[in-house]
Amino acid sequence: MSRFPLRPAAAFALGILVAVGCAKPPPPLVKAAAPDVIVALPVVKGVTDFEDFTGRTEAYKVVDVKPQLTALLDRVHFKDGAYVPEGTPLFDLDARFTKAQADGADANLKLARAKRDLARTLLTTAEKSRDQGVISADEYAKTAAEFQAAEATVKVAEYDVEKAATTLDYTRIKSRYSGRLGKAMVDPGNVVKENETVLTRLVVLDPIYVVFDIDERTLLRIRRLIADGRIPSARESPISVRVGLADEEGYSFTAPLTFADNTLDAGTGTLRFRGEMRNPSLQRTGLPAVVGAAAATGADVNAPRLLSPGMFVRVRFPVGREHPAVLIPEEAVGADQGQRFVFVLNDQDEAQYRRVTLGAQEGRLRVVEDGVRPGERVVVSGLQRVRAGLKVTPRTAATKKQ
């Protein structure tokens, strides 16, 4: 035992000094490796500004098939929903009465012609008798008048024959255009009324219309651009819109504009526009177009079509002339509290934060109106590993052509 025992506080302090002296020094700091990122150069190419709208398809022609005389419906010649060429028989009406009228008109015409021939013979004889002084001038004038009356009777009979033939032709109702039929709305055995009963509906599917509405603000902007000479009007140069379907991302169709309404819809504040485009056929090589008359011709115009009236479409309306623009991949753009930004590398491979103003989308590329210059390297993959001022290891990636 020591002659001078340590007090508790001194013993505790001595323990701390011993512990500190025995502790190992901390390991040296290891500098983090620069993260790998994929970079790409902007694409510079000509683009055209546009506005996107929602539209619908409409039939090129819509015909409600109605009878042109009141009669008994005798027969239906088509299957519901059939594609038919122009002139295809659709319905037969009871033709017995109209056939009798046509036969009677033919008989009356023959009778009128016979009477006219007799009157012509009598007139020739009267002319000779008048020249010989056998008959008076009054008797000759009477014979000449009877011949003129006979000729007029023939003309009336010819008109009656034509009218009866037309009425008889109305008993067979044919397709006015090539297109697709709806269902037969009346069964045989029913009496149909002249110009009233709808028998079926025929729609012409090729070409097909695309209709869409432009809001008032956009319409005014376009018209001001036309007034300033920055874009041509439809009178100077035809305008075509691009059309995309519901199951595709791009725009696979082009439709020249053929109509713009003359009054805005007061309820919606929009003006209706209409374009016209071809409706692709679903006809496969080596197969008949339709059953029946169309199969004999194999006409593509009678084949089923891709688009039906009433389908949803996306319409891209061009605004302005083509101009050069800088485009970058869509995946290079990040969002920060509503602001769009990209990371651009400087000469030391350090990331620089850039706010950008974006324009239209072109396929998988996006137009950058401000914030990126041609030739700058833009980070397109690995954004989550990048921050402003961080040095990175860039890897190049080819930008896909659009």
Q: Reply yes or no: is the peptide bond before residue 329 cis, omega within 30 of 0.
A: no
Residue 28 lies in a domain: no
Do 337 and 273 sit in the same domain of this protein? no
CB of 358 within 8 A of CB of 340? Answer: yes
Do 121 and 141 sit in the same domain of this protein? yes
Residue 200 lies in a domain: no
| pLDDT per residue as tens, the chain (402 positions) | 444 454 555 555 555 544 545 555 666 544 567 788 888 888 888 877 788 899 999 999 999 999 999 999 999 999 999 999 999 999 999 999 999 999 999 999 999 999 999 999 998 998 888 888 888 888 889 999 999 999 999 999 999 999 999 999 999 999 999 999 999 999 999 999 999 999 999 999 999 999 999 999 989 988 888 888 777 777 777 888 999 999 888 889 999 999 999 999 999 999 999 999 999 888 754 444 333 333 334 446 567 889 999 999 999 988 877 778 888 888 888 888 778 898 998 888 888 898 988 887 777 888 888 888 888 888 888 778 888 888 888 888 654 444
Its domain, for residue 385, covers 36-47+322-396
Residue 3 lies in a domain: no
CB of 209 within 8 A of CB of 310? Answer: no
- Domain CATH number, residue 41: 2.40.420.20
Do 129 and 111 sit in the same domain of this protein? yes
Give the pLDDT of residue 318.
Answer: 85
- Is pTM beyond 0.75? Reply is no
Total count of domains within the chain: 3
The radius of gyration of the chain from alpha carbons, rounded to an integer in Å, stands at: 44
Give the pLDDT of residue 169.
Answer: 94
Do 164 and 74 sit in the same domain of this protein? yes
Do 158 and 71 sit in the same domain of this protein? yes
Q: Among 268, 301, 318, which residue terminates a domain?
A: 318
